[in-house]
Amino acid sequence: MASIPGTSSENTGPSLAKDRTERHLGGVLPIRAIRWPQVILFAVSLALFMLALELMKAGTRGVASVINHLLHVDDPLSGIGFGWLSSYLVLSGSPVAAIALTLLDVGTVGPHTAFSIIVGSRVGGSLVVVLVGLAYMIRGHQKGTSLLVGILALIITVSVYVVAWPLGMAALNASLGAVRVDLPAQAGVASLVDVVYGPPVELVARKLPAWSVFLLGVAATVLSLNLIDRTMPELDLEGHVFGRVSRLLYRPVISFVLGMVLTLLTMSVSVSLGLLVPLSVRGYIRRENLVPYIMGCNISTFVDTLIAGILLRNPVATDVVLTQMICILAVSIVVLVFVYRTYERLALGAAVWLNRRRDRMLVFFALILLTPVALLLVGRP
């Protein structure tokens, strides 16, 4: 079975149904039995991710002048533009969010700008799904198949962030420590990271120019996050009670929670969305399920960024991520509780309207490609 553009086919279709003999963990979670090679690979990926963050920190001074003086990423608006465009370059939002936290950690950008870069990275990350869908369309697949879900995901992400961003700015303004959570793991992680990664990173930093150390860190971040995605447990919704009840999922709050939980388990919005595919033998998903599900995905997709914040041992970085998660959660809950039906109609209506005609799509793509450039230019003197 082919997968939704931008999703991994490994977690969908026949592969989910092929081996029913594998037991579910405790019969409660739709997770297949523990595979130790995956556990080991996860540990290696996490170690690589930590190394990547340390490399980026060590090499930041090599790109600081580019970021501050050439691109002028020194205010929130240009931060959004930078994060948005950068996620196009790496075809994902998560590595850019990790970069933002690294830049914050070494003082290249402030908390507000880091917050905004993460916002931009998430919007840009949503667009990647649309762009891959566009590639499918160009290769001859039908337009409706390729683009509608991606466009909807982008519309939902942008619309939530339009409110969550100023809310987060205000929260950061009010008090950076207001939502500070000094996670107990941070102290232990700090000493461990210094002991394990200090010497090799120093060695690399001495041998290579700073900018190349930074780029090496970015490449390691992308690689490690991809590896982490691959090590996430396979979920079998089709054969589990969750799968049977999910056919009845119309209540938005339930779809929202399901999206949040499954994305937490898979650490990927696209993989999480793909998990719904086996529930429909014809490759369809109900509109009623999609909007709240994507809203839920958008919250727990921050878990890898939160891990990055913890690994950096910087409470402000953790604050920035938590503030973002709380703001998006707050906006999503307000939407779900008070204006959900209207929101659902508007979001779906806009996606269908855009998807209906090629000229509208062209204008849409032009706008989403040019907007981050415009935002980046806003910050220039």
Least Å distance, CB 15 to other proteins, is 13
Q: Is the Cβ of residue 128 or residue 277 nearer to other proteins in the bound state? A: 277
Least Å distance, CB 11 to other proteins, is 13
- Chosen residue from 50, 201, 218, 277 binding other proteins by CB under 8 A: 277
Question: For residue 66, how many other CB atoms are within 10 A of its CB?
Answer: 12
Q: Is the Cβ of residue 84 or residue 293 nearer to other proteins in the bound state? A: 293
Q: Is the Cβ of residue 167 or residue 346 nearer to other proteins in the bound state? A: 346
Q: Tell me if 282 contacts other proteins by CB under 8 A.
A: yes
Q: Tell me if 145 contacts other proteins by CB under 8 A.
A: yes
Burial class (CB in 10 A: 0-12, 13-18, 19+), 136: buried
Q: Which of 215, 228, 154 is nearest to 6 (CA)?
A: 154
- Chosen residue from 18, 281, 359, 381 binding other proteins by CB under 8 A: 281
CA atoms of 67 and 74, how far apart (whole Å)? 8
Q: Tell me if 337 contacts other proteins by CB under 8 A.
A: no
Least Å distance, CB 367 to other proteins, is 23
Q: Tell me if 293 contacts other proteins by CB under 8 A.
A: no
CA atoms of 220 and 308, how far apart (whole Å)? 13
Dihedral sign computed on CA atoms, order 370, 371, 372, 376: positive
Q: Is the Cβ of residue 132 or residue 322 nearer to other proteins in the bound state? A: 132
CA atoms of 233 and 23, how far apart (whole Å)? 13
Burial readout 9-31 (b: 16 or more C-beta within 10 A, e: otherwise): eebbbeebeeeeeeebeeeeebb
- Chosen residue from 175, 280, 360, 367 binding other proteins by CB under 8 A: 280
- Chosen residue from 24, 72, 141, 240 binding other proteins by CB under 8 A: 141
Q: Tell me if 311 contacts other proteins by CB under 8 A.
A: no
Q: Tell me if 144 contacts other proteins by CB under 8 A.
A: yes
Q: Tell me if 290 contacts other proteins by CB under 8 A.
A: yes
Least Å distance, CB 162 to other proteins, is 23
Q: Which of 168, 157, 141 is nearest to 298 (CA)?
A: 157
CA atoms of 63 and 61, how far apart (whole Å)? 6
Q: Tell me if 344 contacts other proteins by CB under 8 A.
A: yes
Identity of the residue numbered 249? L
Residue with tokens 């998660």: 325
Q: Which of residues 233-272 bind other proteins (CB under 8 A)?
A: 241, 245, 247-251, 254
Residue 71 sits at the vertex; the CA angle it makes with 55 and 86, to the nearest 5 degrees, is 55
Binding stretches for other proteins (CB under 8 A): 1-5, 12-13, 136, 141-142, 144-146, 148-149, 241, 245, 247-251, 254, 273-274, 276-277, 279-288, 290, 344-345, 348
